[in-house]
Amino acid sequence: METKMFKMKIERETLTELILLLFEEYGYDFRNYSLSHIERRVDSWLSKNMLTVSDNITALVKKDKALAHSLIHQFSISVTEMFRDPELFLNIREKVIPVLATYPFVRIWHAGCATGEEVYSMAILLKEEGILDKCKIYATDFNQSVLDTASKGIYPKDKMLEYTVNYYKSGGKKALTNYFESQYEAIIMNQELKQNIVWANHNLATDASFNEFHFIVCRNVLIYFNEELQLKVLQLFDESLVNHGFICLGDRESIKQDGLNKNVTILDVANKIYQLSCF
C-alpha cells in the first residue's frame, strides 16, 4: 500500500516553478510575497488536496484551473473583525475625521479589505461623525470570493458580542445593533452603510492606482510581502494620496514609512497613522 507523506517540505525549485506558473498562466503575481508565507501556505494546500511533494504539482496546476485557483486563494488569509484594534479606530475618530470633515467630499481606500468587517466599521464611524454622506469608500481585494461576502454584509451573529466590546472601546456613540438587522443566526449590515461603498477587485502586486484618495487604510496585508513589494505598494499609496492625505498601516507591519516620498506627520506611532505633508 502506498503511503502518502503529507508533511514533507516542498523543494525551493518546485516552489519557484509553481509561483512562476501562477504568474504566467493565471496572471497572479506572488513572486514578491514573503517566502516563509508562501512555503507555509503551499504546505497546507498540499495536505488539504491530498497531494505530496512527489506528485508533479506544477503539471497538475497547469492542467487543472480549479486546482490552480484553490492555490491562488490559499495565499489570501482573510482573517478580520469589526473595529479590530479599537484604539486605532478611536484615533481615526479623533485625529483624522475632524480634518476630513472640512473637505467637500472624501475618498477612502481600504486595500486588502477581506470580508469587509473593517470597511463597515469605518462606515459606522463616518456615519456617527456626520460625514458618511459625502464619503465614497473604495474597498478592494484580489480575492473575489471575500469581496462577494463583503458586499452582502452578512456575518455570524455569535461574533457580535466581541464586536460590540470593540465598538465601545473605539468610541462608539450608540448601540452597534443600530447598524444591522438580525436574521436567525446571522446579522445583515444596514443598506445606509452599503450605499457609499464600492467593492472592487484590485491586486496590489500588479494593478495601478485608480483614483486620488484622502485616506488609505491597508492593515495586515503588507506583512505577507517581501521588502521589495512592500516598498512598491507604499509608493503606489504615495502616488494615490492627495496632498496632506492620511494613511493607516496598522500595528503589525514592521516597516517604517520609508516608501512614502514626502515628509509625514506621525499621528499614531503604534498603529502607523500618518499624514503626508508636502513642503
Ligand X SMILES: C[S@@+](CC[C@H](N)C(=O)[O-])C[C@H]1O[C@@H](n2cnc3c(N)ncnc32)[C@H](O)[C@@H]1O
Least spacing, CB of residue 125 vs ligand X, in Å? 15
The correct pick among 142, 163, 179, 274 for binding ligand X (CB under 6 A) is: 142
The correct pick among 77, 154, 200, 255 for binding ligand X (CB under 6 A) is: 77
Nearest to ligand X of 6, 81 (CB atom): 81
Q: What angle do CA 245, 248, 252 make, to 5 degrees?
A: 160
In the DSSP assignment, the letter for residue 159 is G
The correct pick among 16, 49, 76, 235 for binding ligand X (CB under 6 A) is: 76
Least spacing, CB of residue 268 vs ligand X, in Å? 15
For residue 45, CA distances in Å to 10, 11, 207, 216 come to 11, 15, 26, 32
The correct pick among 79, 185, 254, 279 for binding ligand X (CB under 6 A) is: 79
Nearest to ligand X of 118, 238 (CB atom): 118
Nearest to ligand X of 144, 183 (CB atom): 144
Nearest to ligand X of 182, 203 (CB atom): 203
For residue 78, CA distances in Å to 94, 150, 238 come to 28, 11, 25
Is there binding between residue 221 and ligand X (CB under 6 A)? yes
| One-character DSSP codes across 62-103 | HH-HHHHHHHHHHT------TTSSHHHHHHIIIIIHHHHTTS
The correct pick among 51, 72, 97, 146 for binding ligand X (CB under 6 A) is: 146
Residues at the interface with ligand X (CB under 6 A)? 76-80, 84, 112-114, 118, 141-143, 146, 203-205, 219-221, 224
